[in-house]
Structure 1
Amino acid sequence: MFLKIFKQFVTSGLPGKILKEKFSLRKQQNKRLQEDVKSVLSYREWIQSLTNNTFDCTRIIGVVAAATGAENYLPYTIPKIIAQISEIGMMADIVIGMNNGYESQSVVDRFSLLPNVQVVCLYTSDKLANNIPAKIYDNFRYEGKPYYLKNIDSRDCKHRIFIVHQKEGEYAAGKIRVLGDIYESLLLKSIENGWIPPKILIAFDAESQFLVEQNYAFIEPASNGLMLMVRELEKHPKIDILGTRNRFAIYQKYIVDETKVLLPNFSEEVPPLQWFLNIVHGKYKGFKWMPGGGTAGKIDAMISLLVVISQRYPGTRSEDTHLTILAKYAGFIGDIFLDVVSTNRTPNFTDMTIDKSPKKAWIEQIFRWNAGCQGLILCYGKHNVRLIAADCFPWSIFSSPIEFLKRLKGTEKLTLYTISQKLRILAIAFFVSRNIRNRSLENPDILQGSKVKASW
């Protein structure tokens, strides 16, 4: 019976039709990727011609998107990053995009009190479409010419914080939307108008800290991971983009300099999937995206990538994975620097979402990322994405099981009890990830179109 059905299936011509459709889809996906890469390379060549391939080596520029809740992190993370840049012997230009009308006057006031720091407030006009960058002005009436960055006298050695107040609007919600305004209307247009930009740009999140964790041993809270990143880029000038290793952590309330902030507590156990990602990110195929919470690179490479992504894919919520894919196929040289971590907040095991039907927050966090990954798989094809971001278990860990076991145990002593506990958590992570994958296959992010959403 089975052989008869199989014969009918083969003779019906369906296999050939299916293969033809798959081939056609793959061709479309490859073409889309090639067109995006061509655009990225064109922008980079243009930037290099405008600057005559000359960049400011005395400063480092950082870009971060901020939304509701960022006031719990920025009063700590921004001064810390500026201090790390100062320790390197350079000055900082930090650009903070206040997404879709988000405001925190207390944060702005606190920055104004920082020594040797100039705070500049900027304002975007209306965003006319989700993929068109809004113009940026130095006044909230949007009077005069748009604002462009300028180089300052080397004798006036000040750090600068540029706070871009993005006007609330129909097309403004979402991290990629405010990043589009910053990278195109501010950075790219400033270069076009004569600004010589810093050679190195760092992308990070509001809660990001750059810390040293060598050989997966223990995190050094007072370390300067950003210095190691910059030194690595200086040591290997051919590197275009260098990502940190993602380090998920539970954040808790602390008081620092009389200000309430949320800081990572590395001693608290994170949920199973985030724990697993802490082990495999940056090391195994399918887990090699450059994290949006901590990536440094040459400014011409970073701008060209983010401009293309924000213009063409206003629905993306995984701009870091998207950036990594385009960088790889554009031939940019880069890797994950395993000795440095960038912290990323995760809910604890019992936190619930505030939806009408509450769900476990740690699972929903991973689901959002998986949905973003599925959107990219539909866009470029699994064959082009899988080395960077995969929706399956990295079976390659068993090619070097001892090395994986060392990461698995972390700083704990390897006993039968700890092994059984770790394997139990690993099993939970595996089965939960299967359920999340099935959900994300049914609900992938839509990346293009006038109606797409880039926020949640």
Structure 2
Amino acid sequence: MFLNNFFKRYEQSSNFLEEDIITLREKQNRALEEDVKSVMYYRTWIQTQTNHTFENTRILGIVAATKGAENYLPHTIPKIIQQISEIGMMADIVIGLNNGFECPTVIHHLSLLSNIQIIHLYTKEKVANNIAAPVFDNLNYKGKPYCLTNIDPQQCRHRIFVLHQKQGQHSAGKIRVLGDIYGSLLLNSIQNGWIPPAILVTFDAESQFLETLNSSIIDIESNGLKIIVNYLQKHHKIDILGTRNKFAVYQKAILNGIEVLLPNFSEQVPPIQWFIDIVHGRFSGFQCKWGGGTFGRTDVIFSLLVVISRNYPGIRVEDTQLTILAKYAGFIGDIFLDVISTNRTPSMTDMTMENPPKKAWIGQIYRWLVCTYPLKLLYGKHNIGMLVNDGFPWFTFTNPIAFLKLVMGNEKINIFTVIKKIKLLMIACLTFQKLQKDSRKNPDILQGSEAKAFW
């Protein structure tokens, strides 16, 4: 009798659990479907507004910047403009200075470059965290909001739009300034007749686009941007391409009399960052198109980021969410393995300013996990697992030969290198498991008035 009652109660509780899981999955599927529906609405809207016509002589670049960006922009912006020039095209680059951040020395340096026009733009204070602020070309906010315009192709001039976002309680965070760029500046410009460039690239302040030889040797003199843009121009069915991520420890250097930070590819990066680099774009669960280097059709990237910035003002991994929505919207894309985009990571010895201090490289991964977990709750692991995996990398067992080849890279196989690689793998695995558990305790809030924005 006791056993019959026990199994009866167990069966009832199992049914309740199963029903809860089904209900949760339905909610997650519905959230994903609604966001995809919004993305497709904006893509149709931009195509209608432009009559399916796009500018083919220019490339649009978008970068958000905050304190610290002054250490990279004096090198990365001229480098990107140079790479675009080598294609025979012009650049329209929007630099969003977040929440009152200013870097006048950098802007002055850029203004001295040949064939460059600097246009300063200013936002009013944001009235809410998910409402894009109007953009003007003057600090008094007089006249109509500013709109980008097309210029005669014969005017061979690169344009840099410096968007000064007004400091305010709703402004802090990368997604907030991206919201003003996509949801105000670009949207209003298109609505008022601007024909945007066909190709848009998102990048970070420290991003460099370089070619890799034999999948591991970096050609520091190469033009990775040219390679990926040429590929998009030849393959019109491709909607969006991510570059392969390359973490690097940055070091001080003097460039044209200005102190900057440049990647040092010879220094060993921390274990988890090293692991991510070798598997990114190659295995299931590591297919994210990182914001430090994503190329695509302007209507595609615009529609994705305008929805994300409006609906999720607390997101700080907008690139991960972009990857998810792009897949379910049916956009065709991949990770372009022959081109890397650089991404700064702390060194093995860097410590945080916390009390007590912690290893900075661990903090970097922890922040990524904290803000990735809410996307699993929002859309469901069953929907995002193939793209973003925060669990155990089972491919290390299901495809061991390919994985081990990547682990060893171009290094000679001997006792020293084998021990070194095994040690890195063990540290990466154990540290990641601990961080994964810790990150579940205080996940980011993505929506509503309580949503905070971060970098």
Same fold (TM over 0.5): yes
Matched, 1:423 2:422: yes
* 3-state SS, counterpart of residue 214 of structure 2: helix
Identical-pair percentage: 59
Residue in 2 that maps onto 1:154: 153
Quote how far apart the aligned CAs of 1:162 are. 0.3
* 3-state SS, counterpart of residue 169 of structure 2: coil
Matched, 1:123 2:122: yes
1:343-382: per-residue Cα shift (whole Å, max 9, x none)? 0000011111112332211011001111111010011011
Change in Cα spacing, 1:138 to 1:23, as seen in structure 2 (3 Å) is same
Please list, as runs of the form range in 1=range in 2, the aligned pairs for 1:399-410 lying within 5 A after superposition.
399-410=398-409
Residue in 2 that maps onto 1:10: 10
Residue in 2 that maps onto 1:211: 210
Residue in 2 that maps onto 1:201: 200
In 1: Cα distance, 2:3 partner to 2:282 partner: 45
Residue in 2 that maps onto 1:32: 31
In 1: Cα distance, 2:211 partner to 2:262 partner: 16
Quote how far apart the aligned CAs of 1:216 are. 2.3
The one-letter amino acid of 1:286's match is G
TM-score (normalizing by structure 1): 0.97
8 Å CA contact 1:214–1:338 kept in 2: the answer is no
Quote how far apart the aligned CAs of 1:213 are. 1.0
How many pairs does the alignment contain? 454
Please list, as runs of the form range in 1=range in 2, the aligned pairs for 1:89-104 lying within 5 A after superposition.
89-104=88-103
Q: Report the RMSD for the aligned CA atoms in angstroms.
A: 1.4
Quote how far apart the aligned CAs of 1:341 are. 0.4
Residue in 2 that maps onto 1:282: 281
Residue in 1 that maps onto 2:441: 442
8 Å CA contact 2:242–2:295 kept in 1: the answer is yes
Residue in 2 that maps onto 1:314: 313
8 Å CA contact 2:183–2:310 kept in 1: the answer is no
Residue in 1 that maps onto 2:339: 340
Residue in 2 that maps onto 1:183: 182
Please list, as runs of the form range in 1=range in 2, the aligned pairs for 1:253-268 lying within 5 A after superposition.
253-268=252-267
In 2: Cα distance, 1:30 partner to 1:440 partner: 24
Quote how far apart the aligned CAs of 1:6 are. 6.5
1:256-306: per-residue Cα shift (whole Å, max 9, x none)? 111100000000001000010011111111110000000000000000000
8 Å CA contact 2:242–2:293 kept in 1: the answer is yes
In 1: Cα distance, 2:333 partner to 2:200 partner: 14
Matched, 1:389 2:388: yes
Residue in 1 that maps onto 2:68: 69
In 2: Cα distance, 1:170 partner to 1:384 partner: 34
In 2: Cα distance, 1:352 partner to 1:151 partner: 47
8 Å CA contact 1:96–1:161 kept in 2: the answer is yes
Structure 1 window deviating more from structure 2 (411-420 vs 234-243): it is 411-420
The one-letter amino acid of 2:405's match is K
Structure 2: state its 5+ residue gaps. none
The one-letter amino acid of 2:172's match is A
In 2: Cα distance, 1:234 partner to 1:22 partner: 44
8 Å CA contact 2:308–2:318 kept in 1: the answer is yes
Residue in 1 that maps onto 2:238: 239
In 2: Cα distance, 1:215 partner to 1:329 partner: 32
Quote how far apart the aligned CAs of 1:395 are. 1.3
8 Å CA contact 1:47–1:191 kept in 2: the answer is yes
Change in Cα spacing, 1:219 to 1:19, as seen in structure 2 (3 Å) is same
In 2: Cα distance, 1:400 partner to 1:134 partner: 49
Quote how far apart the aligned CAs of 1:407 are. 1.2
In 2: Cα distance, 1:270 partner to 1:234 partner: 34
8 Å CA contact 1:240–1:301 kept in 2: the answer is yes
* 3-state SS, counterpart of residue 64 of structure 1: strand
Structure 1 window deviating more from structure 2 (129-138 vs 402-411): it is 402-411
In 2: Cα distance, 1:303 partner to 1:227 partner: 21
* 3-state SS, counterpart of residue 185 of structure 1: helix
The one-letter amino acid of 1:339's match is D
In 2: Cα distance, 1:414 partner to 1:91 partner: 46
8 Å CA contact 1:315–1:454 kept in 2: the answer is yes
1:10-58: per-residue Cα shift (whole Å, max 9, x none)? 14x1111111111111101100100000000010001001101110000
Residue in 1 that maps onto 2:375: 376
Residue in 2 that maps onto 1:249: 248
Residue in 1 that maps onto 2:452: 453
8 Å CA contact 1:84–1:224 kept in 2: the answer is yes
1:106-134: per-residue Cα shift (whole Å, max 9, x none)? 01101110100000010000100000000
Quote how far apart the aligned CAs of 1:3 are. 7.8
In 1: Cα distance, 2:358 partner to 2:349 partner: 10
8 Å CA contact 1:279–1:407 kept in 2: the answer is yes
Quote how far apart the aligned CAs of 1:4 are. 8.6
